[in-house]
């Protein structure tokens, strides 16, 4: 992802592209060969693996307080005015920017009915009208019920799969937006935190970054607006000291979006370097996109190796029959028997299908039980804390606290669901191995957990210790599932519907802050304190009831998705095997009745295909080994 001197629109993937070109070309050639030998189904799957390798979806959040230059920085990175940046246009809704041939924008907002489960309203708008939907001026208080706006632009920076998420300003890092962002980070690839050079970071900002660094693989700090503040280096040093004292050291880049914009207008290489945006682009390339590409490469190679192995087995069986025609009848009988066994495995009564149903049901029960227990404990804990509150500023802290503890539990639900998906799949693979079907190397064909779904439900996060430790055992595998991202088939359908914008756009959640925040006490009269406490308890219970209601719906949707994805994945894989056995049996029967000349000709064709596939297999394994060593 090198940054062009005059325009990012000529940017390419520097170091990372070279690392994947070899595997990409090999997989494309494998797909062509599969097409030639009549396996269009497997050729399509190999083509999908190649596409995933070329453009693994990589999610980067841009976060910061209001008016810290988030949107300007995104525009500077992309080299075009995508996000509104006028002084009076504070971002009020989540904006996702991804690659596409033609500029367009899609608004997704909740149904007017407000009934859970009702489909969202989706509208296509002009990119120039985005400010009417994502700014406080155009959409005050999110009156239009916007969950998110997706912008598609033809930017080479995004073409390699990078998706940039512009988040609403976090308002002191105490509102729901900060909690939402933290809950999203376990499923994201990177975070850019912006703070301008007018002042050093506040304690809440440093704490937010410390917590973010534990949840996200890459956290970058961008100090913006250095063109406006001559003493920006001093502020940079102060911030570095804050990080060191907090025990972490994210990469720090001082940037000027204004200089970058002017450099692009003038096509001035020197001015572009002075903006320091190229340095930030390099960090994104090396620390975010590079690892995502490596993960996608490993998944794609593993998937294609499984395809090649399956086809080689079929071709090898046919070649063996050609070599010894006397065994043809017996071999065909064995193939038909294997095909019949596989046909049964495709049915609803197959043992693996029943296993999926049982395990998914267990997962649903366990996740729901744990979440209900957690919210019950939070309710009791909040009752105790409310009884201890007497001062006005303590109400504000209580609002922040309940958002963070609920965030932790909601995030854990999604972690548990994705880990459950992984465990069930592994158990099915083991079960099918007993049927002599080795599916261990197959990458899931389902989309897996969609990170962006976290922007559709209630997601928050807790303070430092316990919750994050609970995440560490599962986050790596989940983010890996995202590798080709997944994390969602984000290649085309970026963002379904599910869990997270709620926290950033749901007035229920944000309202809780207002309930407590307005409770400054003019005096300490006991009656007034008692009334405030009672109001707080009522609001907490209502808030938790709403969270449970929304999460019950989200858990149900995701459970059904998990079961459907697992069922479809293994059914499709078994179907591929059925076709392999059927094709081999059919060819073997035809070969047995063919003339000697035709059998010899077929033998030459088989030898050529087996040789080519074996060569590709060796090259892919070598590529995988070198990738692992690096």
pLDDT tens digits, one per residue of 264-287: 999 999 999 999 999 999 999 888
Confidence (pLDDT) at 585: 82
**Of all helices (H) and strands (E), which one includes residue 194?**
strand 190-196
Confidence (pLDDT) at 51: 82
* Pairing status of strand 146-153 against strand 190-196: unpaired
Yes or no: say if 221 and 239 are a contact pair by the CB < 8 Å rule.
Answer: yes
| Range 435-443 contact pairs with CB under 8 angstroms and sequence separation of 24 or more | 435/341, 435/345, 437/342, 437/345, 437/574, 437/577, 439/306, 439/570, 439/573, 441/302, 441/303, 441/305, 441/306, 441/309, 442/302, 442/303, 442/306, 442/573, 443/49, 443/299, 443/300, 443/302, 443/303, 443/484
How much is the pTM?
Answer: 0.69
Confidence (pLDDT) at 517: 43
Token code pair at residue 349: 């009564």
Confidence (pLDDT) at 437: 60
- CA R_g for the chain: 28
CB-based burial of residue 23 (10 Å sphere; 0-12 exposed, 13-18 middle, 19+ buried)? buried
Confidence (pLDDT) at 396: 67
- C-alpha torsion 347→348→349→353, nearest 10: 100
Confidence (pLDDT) at 391: 67
Question: Which residue ranges in the chain fall short of pLDDT 70?
Answer: 1-21, 86-93, 113-118, 141, 169-181, 183-184, 390-393, 395-396, 400, 435-526, 627-630
Q: Is residue 621 classed as helix, strand or coil in its secondary structure?
A: helix
Confidence (pLDDT) at 368: 94
Confidence (pLDDT) at 116: 53
Strand order across the 252-254 sheet: 121-125, 104-109, 146-153, 94-99, 162-166, 58-64, 190-196, 219-224, 252-254
User: Helices marked H in 500-525 — which ranges?
Assistant: 501-505, 507-517
**How is the chain split among helix, strand and coil, in percent rounded to 5?**
65, 10, 25
Half-sphere exposure for 117 (CA within 13 Å, toward CB): 6
């Amino acid at each position: 992802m090198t940054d062009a001197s005059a325009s990012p629109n000529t940017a390419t993937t520097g170091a990372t592209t070279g690392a994947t070109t070899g595997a990409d070309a090999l997989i494309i050639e494998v797909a062509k060969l599969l097409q030639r030998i009549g396996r269009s189904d497997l050729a399509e799957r190999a083509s999908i693996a190649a596409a995933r390798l070329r453009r693994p979806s990589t999610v980067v959040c841009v976060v910061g307080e209001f008016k810290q230059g988030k949107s300007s920085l995104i525009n500077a990175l992309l080299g075009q005015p995508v996000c509104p940046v006028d002084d009076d246009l504070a971002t009020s809704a989540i904006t996702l920017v991804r690659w596409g041939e033609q500029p367009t924008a899609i608004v997704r907002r909740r149904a007017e009915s407000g009934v859970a489960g009702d489909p969202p309203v989706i509208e296509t708008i002009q990119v120039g009208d985005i400010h009417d939907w994502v700014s406080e001026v155009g959409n005050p208080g999110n009156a239009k019920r916007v969950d998110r706006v997706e912008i598609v632009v033809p930017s080479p920076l995004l073409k390699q799969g990078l998706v940039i998420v512009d988040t609403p300003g976090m308002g002191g890092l105490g509102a729901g937006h900060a909690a939402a962002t933290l809950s999203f980070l376990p499923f994201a690839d990177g975070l850019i935190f912006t703070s301008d050079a007018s002042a050093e970071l506040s304690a809440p900002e440093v704490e937010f970054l410390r917590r973010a660094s534990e949840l996200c693989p890459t956290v970058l700090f961008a100090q913006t607006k250095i063109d406006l503040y001559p003493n920006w280096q001093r502020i940079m040093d102060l911030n570095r000291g804050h990080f060191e004292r907090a025990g972490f050291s994210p990469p720090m880049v001082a940037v000027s979006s204004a200089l970058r914009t002017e450099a692009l207008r003038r096509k001035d290489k020197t001015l572009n370097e002075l903006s320091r945006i190229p340095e930030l682009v390099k960090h994104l390339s090396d620390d975010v996109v590079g690892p995502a590409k490596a993960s996608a490469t490993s998944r794609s190679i593993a998937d294609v190796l499984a395809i090649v192995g399956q086809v080689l087995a079929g071709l090898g069986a046919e070649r063996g029959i050609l070599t010894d025609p006397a065994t043809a009848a017996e071999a065909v009988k064995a193939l038909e028997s294997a095909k019949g066994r596989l046909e049964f495995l495709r049915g609803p009564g197959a043992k693996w299908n029943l296993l999926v149903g049982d395990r998914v049901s267990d997962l649903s029960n366990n996740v729901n039980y744990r979440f209900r227990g957690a919210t019950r404990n939070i309710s009791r804990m909040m009752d105790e804390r409310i009884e201890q509150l007497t001062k006005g500023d303590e109400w504000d802290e209580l609002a922040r606290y309940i958002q963070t503890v609920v965030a932790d539990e909601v995030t854990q639900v999604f972690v548990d669901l994705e880990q459950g998906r992984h465990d069930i799949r592994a158990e099915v693979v083991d079960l099918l191995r007993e049927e002599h079907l080795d599916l261990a190397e197959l990458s899931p064909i389902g989309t897996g957990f969609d990170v962006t779904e976290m922007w559709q439900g209630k997601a928050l996060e807790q303070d430092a210790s316990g919750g994050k430790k609970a995440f560490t055992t599962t986050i790596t595998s989940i983010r890996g599932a995202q590798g080709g991202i997944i994390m969602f088939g984000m290649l085309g359908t970026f963002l379904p519907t599910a869990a997270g914008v709620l926290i950033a756009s749901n007035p229920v959640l944000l309202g809780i802050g207002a309930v407590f925040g307005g409770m400054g006490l003019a005096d300490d009269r006991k009656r007034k304190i008692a009334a405030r406490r009672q109001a707080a308890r009522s609001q907490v219970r209502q808030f938790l009831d709403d969270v449970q209601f929304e999460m019950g719906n989200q858990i149900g949707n995701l459970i059904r998705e998990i079961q459907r994805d697992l069922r479809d994945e293994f059914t499709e894989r078994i179907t591929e095997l059925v076709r392999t056995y059927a094709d081999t049996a059919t060819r073997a029967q035809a070969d047995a009745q063919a003339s000697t000349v035709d059998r010899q000709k077929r033998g030459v064709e088989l030898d050529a295909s087996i040789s080519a596939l074996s060569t590709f297999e060796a090259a892919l394994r070598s590529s995988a080994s070198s990738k692992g060593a690096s």
